[in-house]
Amino acid sequence: MSTIKDKEFDYQAYMRENLPDQAKINRGPQARQRRREVTKARITIRLDEEVIEQFKQMVPEGQGYQSLINQALREWLAARGVKELIGKELPEMIEKAVSSLQAKKRPSK
């Protein structure tokens, strides 16, 4: 719900009608510890202007393109990990499959 453009929006009335879900409110020492564990690191990185512009165009107005870059990097790392896993295990799997097929083709005595 976008309230930025609605000058007549009554936030207090909205909150009285739409109470927050108590189960989703994270308070206490355990919640603080979880937030500390998942924080992002602040770094300086140089990216091509074209790359930044493309990411900015991909997000809706008012939202951060940096989160989109972060998600793209996560997906790239996950894909790379899968590729390495397949690269290591695929030859062994093919060898087992070929051996199995060859064993089925051998005539029984």
Instruction: Please check whether residue 4 lies inside any domain of the structure.
Output: no
pLDDT of res. 4: 59
Instruction: Please check whether residue 5 lies inside any domain of the structure.
Output: no
pLDDT of res. 50: 95
| Whole-angstrom distance, CA of residue 96 vs CA of residue 109 | 23
> pLDDT 10s digit of each residue in the chain, 109 long?
555 567 788 888 888 888 878 777 777 888 777 777 777 788 899 999 999 999 999 988 767 888 889 889 888 888 888 778 777 787 888 888 888 888 877 666 5
Instruction: Please check whether residue 1 lies inside any domain of the structure.
Output: no
Instruction: Please check whether residue 35 lies inside any domain of the structure.
Output: yes
User: Looking at residue 42, what DSSP letter applies?
Assistant: P
C-beta neighbour count of 104 within 10 angstroms: 7
User: Looking at residue 20, what DSSP letter applies?
Assistant: -
Instruction: Please check whether residue 42 lies inside any domain of the structure.
Output: yes
Owning domain of residue 60: 11-105
Write down the pTM of the prediction: 0.47
Instruction: Please check whether residue 39 lies inside any domain of the structure.
Output: yes
Please report the DSSP string for 44-91 in residue order: -----HHHHHHHHHHSPTTS-HHHHHHHHHHHHHHHHHHHHHHHHHHH
Residue recorded with tokens 């919640």? 31
